Amino acid sequence: MASRKTVTRENLVALGAERLAALLIELADDNAEVKRRLRLELAAQSGGDTIAAEISKRLATLRSARSVIDWQKRRDFVRDLDLQRAMIVGRVAQDRADLALDLMWRFMDLAEPVLNRVDDSNGSVGEVFKLACADLGALAAKAKPDPVSLADRVFHAVTGNGYGVFDRVVTLMLPALGDAGAAHLKRRLMQALAERPRRGGERDFEALLLRSALQDLADGQGDVDAYVALIPPEEQRLLHQGTAIGRRLLKAGRAPEALAALEQARPMRRASTTTWDEALFGAVIPVDAGWEDIYIEALEATGQRDEAQRLRWAAFEKRLSVERLRAYLKRLPDFDDMEAEERAMQYALGYRSFSAALWFFAHWPHQRWAAELVLARASEIDGNLYDLLEQAARLIEGQHPLAATLLRRAMIEDTLDGAKSTRYKHAARHLLECRSLAVQIQNFETFETHDAFLACLRVRHGRKVGFWSQIDEGAMTLR
């Protein structure tokens, strides 16, 4: 049971209404945010019209404000902004969905003036408006406004979407638009797109907005051909466009056409050099992974299962893809999958990037192979990859303490060699973990014993007091 001093609902209720009211008044005197919330809650007691009037006043104030909101004031401002949004949805909409919808449109109209004067480097203000856009869809479905008038408002939202807060508005509004509203919106969007002047290769942002809205309409209506028709023929050969087309054709049950669209957008072969990201993440997901996903699905759907399997294995060999290998093994007969898995582990053991191979074994996951990799290629361990090495060490330390020790030693040496003082505490912890594991290691093979490693650290880094001060060497514990 919680202490009576703990701030819980039950303990506050026990204070009684009068005492709580006095406390709230006292807090509201020094806190404008609390006072504003209390005013809204009191207005809500009088019904939707009253609270709507209060929110309307606040929206007008926010719209007329001109002062810059810096990062120090942003948090309080975001809370105030989201309070207005939440009150529209949670209070006004209960009795007056029509008023709530109108207020939410007015709220969304604040996006441009607000984002022009706020430091939104972390995106928190924009996120409130994106939530409000989602609310618009739900409120419109509840209020059931005239579909043609609603389509006109959606059109203006699309064409004024400079900050991206209306990116999903067409999709969200489709249920409320109905056939009549969707048809009217489509006509307006098509007309506006046709009237755009040609710019001779110059990027036309407004045309992109119009085309994207029309594509959202096509998706909502399940019209793949309308979606494809909006993409210029020369762009259909681009990787992301071909992938988008292939995905929709496949979903529509048109696998041969999907395969043809994907073939047309086949990614170019890239050099086989290993990038830093590939070394870090072991074949980090490439830009063409989405295309590859759909292409393999299309091969399966057209009966080309052997080719699909070949591509899965090739993807594994190229970047040690856990996902592709699992899918490959899943489709093999019993016992064949065991032999293929053994072959895959051997291949990963000799992969060109040690870090990539370690990432693979940590995510497969496979303790024995991860430990074997570490012991066989210890000189290749990159001690700077703390997250990867920590994860792998935790995975294997129970059964393979020597390999786990080598991973931790690499992190310790990287920290001390680079004099990375902010990591001294972590390096000290790793050293203590190495000592704990040492008693489980019967044979250090060609590697230094723990005492020898510790002595070498003393010789090379004895003057790094910031590190040694973290450790009580007598008790071998962190200070």
Tell me how far apart the alpha carbons of residues 415 and 136 are, in angstroms, rounded to a whole number. 52
What digits encode the pLDDT tens for the residues 274-311?
Answer: 443 444 444 445 668 899 999 999 999 999 999 999 99
Task: Specify the pLDDT at position 271.
Answer: 44
Within 10 angstroms of residue 13's Cβ, the number of other Cβ atoms is 10
Task: Kindly tell me the burial class for residue 185, based on how many C-beta atoms sit within 10 Å of its own C-beta (0-12, 13-18, 19 or more).
Answer: buried
Span 426-448, average pLDDT: 95
Task: Give the chain's mean pLDDT.
Answer: 89
Higher per-residue pLDDT: 265 or 37 = 265
Given a cut of 50, is residue 474 above it in pLDDT?
Answer: no
Predicted local confidence at residue 379, as pLDDT: 96
Predicted pLDDT of residue 157: 96
Percent of the chain at pLDDT > 90 equals 71
- The whole-number pLDDT of residue 103 equals 95
Residue 270 carries which side chain, given as an amino acid letter? Answer: R
What is the DSSP code (8-state) at residue 268? P
- Average pLDDT estimate for 329-337: 93
What is the C-alpha separation between 300 and 296, in angstroms, rounded?
A: 6
For the residues 80-109, what does the mean pLDDT come to?
Answer: 92
Confidence at residue 70, expressed as pLDDT on a 0 to 100 scale: 85
Q: What are the residues whose beta carbons fall under 8 Å from the beta carbon of 237, sequence distance 6 or more? A: 264, 265
Percent share of the chain, pLDDT over 70: 85
Question: Residue 26's pLDDT is what?
Answer: 67
Residues pairing with 478 in the sheet: 471
* Neighbour count for residue 470 (Cβ, 10 Å): 17
- For the stretch 401-419, pLDDT in tens is 999 999 999 999 999 999 9
* Ranges of each domain in the chain: 33-196+203-232, 365-479
* Closest CA relative to residue 286, chosen from 263, 308, 298, 269: 269
pLDDT (0 to 100) of residue 479: 55
User: Residue 122's pLDDT is what?
Assistant: 87
Contact 55, 84 (CB under 8 A): yes
Q: Where is average pLDDT lowest: 53-57, 327-331, 346-350?
A: 53-57
Instruction: Return the exposure string of 217-233: e unless at least 16 CB atoms fall within 10 Å of the residue's CB, then b.
Output: bbbbeeebeebbebbee
Question: What per-residue confidence (pLDDT) applies to 276?
Answer: 38
Do residues 280 and 388 lie in contact, with contact meaning Cβ atoms separated by under 8 Å?
A: yes
pLDDT at 402: 98
Q: Find the mean pLDDT for residues 210-222.
A: 96
State the average pLDDT over residues 313-318.
94
pTM to 2 decimal places: 0.78
pLDDT band at 12 (very low <50, low <70, confident <90, very high): low
pLDDT over threshold 90, residue 16: no
Give the pLDDT confidence of 41-60 residue by residue, as tens digits. Answer: 666 565 557 778 888 988 99
114: Cβ contacts below 8 Å, ≥ 6 apart:
62, 81, 125
Question: What backbone phi and psi angles, to 5 degrees, belong to 472?
Answer: -95, 95
pLDDT of residue 275: 44
148-178 residue pLDDT tens: 999 999 999 999 998 999 999 999 999 999 9
| 369-386 confidence digits (pLDDT tens) | 999 999 999 999 999 999
Residue 476 has pLDDT above 90, yes or no: no
